Structures are given as structure tokens and as C-alpha cells.
Amino acid sequence: MATTEVSRPTLLLVHGAWHGLWCWEKLELQLIADGWATRTVGLPSAARSGLPTAEPLAGIHTDAQTVLKALEDIKGPVVVVGHSYGGIPVTQAIADASNVCHVIYLAAYQLDVDESLYGFHGAPEPEFATGVIQPAEESVAVAAFYADVPEEEAARAVQKLVPQSVRSFSERVTQAGWRTIPSTYIICEQDKALPSQEQEKLAARANAVHRLQSSHSPFLSMPSKLAALLACIAHGSRPAY
């Protein structure tokens, strides 16, 4: 095997709010077919059935510890891909990781220290960050997340959404790994969940910016194109140690 193939980093995929590992399946198949090693991590703030429901529910810091544990289990360099809310615990976690060579924010929250998701949008942070936010009804969720996904597939995706903890939207970032690790932002131009104007503000913090003509979930609507873009970014990454 060629040296360039041996030195390829692993891609760690971190999903957003209300979602789960299932959302990466099409993208993973494409990446694996192209010779990339992938890992995924399920965030505990997405309250899947069977998980503890006693307060306090998981927030960004619990999610970040889950991401960090996944990174520790990977040998060699890693490119971390955070989607939407997933960018927040990724930002927190990679500051403590020694093997992350690049971080990619896919229509994601590239927050800085002392920022929260609510705060970024100018919304008040609740005094008591308890409870969950239920997924939106099907028509609203499809319009926000899956506007360019085939209708039947979008309907199936909505059925897989789960409640998301309020705490995850209100807790603040305490360390920003992208300040020391190279970062790339992928703006989804047709996004209705996190509009491109908001993404532009976040992308200004990244070292490089790319754009896709997609809605919020290109891993479902254009997995081949997204895989090719991630591969292009990852090929240029170098180990940080």
C-alpha cells in the first residue's frame, strides 16, 4: 500500500441535535468505498430511548467527553467532522485531543469560549436548563433539515429524530479547539435550519471555507459530493503531533 494511503487520517463523524448514527450511513458507505476509515459517535444529549432521563440530562460537556473518548480509541491522526449542533461538543473536545489534525464544521456551530447555541442566536439562556426539545412535526422538519432529500427518504429520517436536551443548547463552551487546530467550514447554501447568513458569521472563524448547494443534510441529499469534498480537505491534513 502506498505511503499516502497509510497516512490517511480517520474521519470521525459527529451528528447534530435530534439525530443519531443513522444519519451518516450513506456518507460512510461512500467514504469507505473511496478507501477512507470512518468512525461515528452518538451524542448522549440526543435522548434515545433506553437512556437515563433523570436530570441533569446530558449537555455539551457530557457530549464532549463522549467525543473525546472516541478520539482516544482511534490510533493515528483524525479529521473530525461536526454537523450542526455537533460542532459545539467537537469544539470543546478537540482542545484536549492529541491526535486531531483538522476539524471540519458542516453547517455547524463553530462557537468560541463563553458562547452557547442560544446565545449565538441572541436567545435568552433558561435559568434552569432542564427537559428536552421535541423534534418538529414532519412538514416543518422536512423543510428545515431535508428540503433536497427525496420525499420518502426524508419522511423516514423524520421518524428517526429523537428529543434533544435543553441543556445542550444552553451550556457554554469553555475551550475552543479550533483556535489551535486547523479548521474548515462547509456552508450549505440552501440551508433553512441554520441559514447561510448565520453560517457565514461562523465560517469567518475557520481557516478555509467551502460551499455546497444543499440544504442542512448533504450527507443524505448528496453523499457522493460531500464525500469527495471531505476527502479533498482530509488529503491536505497533516498530523498535529
Three-state DSSP class for residue 232:
helix
Decide if 132 contacts 57 (C-beta within 8 A).
Answer: yes
Count other Cβ atoms within 10 Å, centred on residue 69.
11
Residues in the chain: 241
Calculate the alpha carbon distances from 51 to 42, 58, 146, 168, 200 in Å. Answer: 12, 10, 27, 16, 35
The order of strands in the sheet holding 78-83 is: 38-41, 10-14, 78-83, 100-106, 183-188, 208-212
Q: Which domains are delineated in the chain?
A: 3-235 (3.40.50.1820)
Q: Which residues contact 120 (CB under 8 A, 6 or more apart)?
A: 109, 111
DSSP 178: G
Cell 475551550, residue located:
175
43, 13 Cβ separation under 8 angstroms? no
Please give the chain's pLDDT, 241 residues, in tens: 333 455 799 999 999 999 999 999 999 999 999 999 999 999 999 987 555 567 788 999 999 999 999 999 999 999 999 999 999 999 999 999 999 999 999 999 999 999 999 999 999 888 788 889 999 999 999 999 999 999 999 999 999 999 999 999 999 999 999 999 999 999 999 999 999 999 999 999 999 999 999 999 999 999 999 999 999 999 886 544 3
The angle that helices 87-94 and 60-72 make with each other, rounded to 10 degrees, is: 60
Cell digits of residue 45: 444529549
- Rounded to two decimals, the pTM is 0.93
Provide the sign of the torsion angle of the four alpha carbons 45, 48, 50, 55, taken in this order.
Answer: positive
Helices 151-159 & 138-145 angle (0-180, nearest 10)? 110
